[in-house]
């Protein structure tokens, strides 16, 4: 199954979900991307043949978080007033932790390259996290979103207790 932002392959009980926008480092800034992620997670959760899932990114990045170009242009989640941005964020990005919360299938985040901002948040929502070398990880929601009352997608409540680093990824 391929949605526009995420593609899913299932092979012998293992679902592999890949962020599919390598040209912009799998950055997030639109509602349709968040819908794709939440629908892909719901689909694997509803598939009794899936026993485990791997979430990774296509290209050189896992997920670069928010699209800086869209932030600067005030498009996507960054469009409108601070109140409108918060509402767009709630309708969009906040779908993702809710989809993870509903999962019965364990998801392993295979972090290949950049996992920044919301991308790192998403990686931390997985049951397990394996980071290849060199995997860049960073959390910076302060300056870009200072006028909005929320920070991050909410991974701290869902974060695995023991992330694992692997040079073999």
Quick: pLDDT tens for 77-99: 888 898 888 888 888 888 999 99
Name, in order, each residue with C-beta under 8 angstroms of 130's C-beta and a sequence gap of 6 or more.
108, 109, 110, 111, 164, 165, 166, 169
Count of structural domains, the chain: 1
Quick: pLDDT tens for 102-145: 999 999 999 988 888 889 899 999 999 888 765 555 455 444 43
Do the domain assignments include residue 98? yes
CB-facing half-sphere around the CA of 63: CA atoms within 13 A: 26
So what's the pLDDT on residue 77?
80
Do the domain assignments include residue 165? no
So what's the pLDDT on residue 17?
98
So what's the pLDDT on residue 113?
86
Do the domain assignments include residue 144? yes
Do the domain assignments include residue 168? no
So what's the pLDDT on residue 147?
37
Do the domain assignments include residue 162? no
Do the domain assignments include residue 159? no
Range of the domain at 45: 6-154
Q: Is the CB of residue 153 less than 8 Å from the CB of residue 97?
A: yes
Do the domain assignments include residue 79? yes
- Percent of the chain topping pLDDT 90: 47
Do the domain assignments include residue 106? yes
CATH of the domain at 98: 3.90.226.10
So what's the pLDDT on residue 85?
84
For residue 10, report the phi and psi dihedrals to the nearest 5 degrees: -125, 125
More confident residue, 52 or 145: 52
- Rounded distance between C-alpha atoms, residue 54 and residue 103, angstroms: 13
């Amino acid at each position: 199954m391929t949605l526009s932002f995420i593609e899913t392959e299932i092979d012998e009980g293992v679902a592999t979900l890949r962020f599919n926008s390598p040209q912009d480092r799998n950055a997030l800034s639109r509602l349709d991307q968040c819908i794709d992620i939440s629908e892909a997670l719901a689909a694997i959760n509803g598939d009794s043949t899936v026993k485990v899932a791997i979430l990774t990114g296509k290209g050189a990045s896992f997920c670069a978080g928010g699209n800086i170009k869209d932030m600067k242009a005030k498009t996507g989640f960054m469009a409108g007033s601070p109140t409108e941005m918060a509402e767009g964020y709630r309708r969009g990005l906040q779908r993702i932790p809710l989809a993870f919360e509903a999962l019965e299938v364990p998801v392993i985040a295979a972090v290949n390259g950049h996992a920044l901002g919301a991308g790192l948040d998403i990686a931390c929502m997985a049951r397990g996290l394996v980071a290849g070398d060199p995997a860049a990880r960073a959390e910076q929601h302060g300056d870009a979103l200072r006028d909005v009352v929320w920070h991050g997608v909410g991974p701290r409540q869902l974060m695995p207790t023991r992330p694992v680093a692997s040079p073999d990824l």
